[in-house]
Amino acid sequence: MKNPYENPLDGKTGILQELLASLSPTELQLYIAHYRWRQANEQFPQKPRNRYQSESYFKYRTNQSIYEAQKLIRQKQTSR
C-alpha cells in the first residue's frame, strides 16, 4: 500500500530541525500525517538483525520528529 501523504522533505538533506523550521504549518501537518500513516502501516522483520530495523526504534525516532513538528506548528501559530 502506498502512503497517500507526501513527505514535504523528500529529496532534501540537512539538519532535521532546520528543515522542519523551513516548512509552513500546512507542510508540517502533511509531514506529521505522512509519518503517522507509516507508523500504522509499515512492515518490519519478525527478527530484525539490529535494533535500528525494529518497529520500536522506528516509532521512537518518528515520534520524536512528529513532536518537533507539532512544537513548530504551535510556535508558528503563536507568533502570528
- Please state the domain count of the chain: 1
Buried b (16+ CB within 10 A) or exposed e, 50-75: eeeeeeeebbeebeebbebbeebbee
Range of the domain at 20: 16-78
Q: Within a domain: residue 74?
A: yes
Q: Within a domain: residue 68?
A: yes
Do residues 44 and 55 lie in contact, with contact meaning Cβ atoms separated by under 8 Å?
yes
Does residue 79 have a pLDDT over 90? no
pLDDT digits (tens, 9 = 90+) for 1-29: 899 999 999 999 999 999 999 999 999 99
Assign 69 to helix, strand or coil. helix
Does residue 80 have a pLDDT over 90? no
Q: Within a domain: residue 2?
A: no
Q: Within a domain: residue 53?
A: yes
Do residues 42 and 71 lie in contact, with contact meaning Cβ atoms separated by under 8 Å?
no
Confidence of residue 32 (pLDDT cuts 50, 70, 90): very high
Per-residue pLDDT at 19 = 97
pLDDT digits (tens, 9 = 90+) for 44-70: 988 989 999 999 999 999 999 999 999
Q: Output Rg (C-alpha) for the chain, integer angstroms.
A: 14
pTM: 0.90
Helix (H) or strand (E) holding 74: helix 55-78
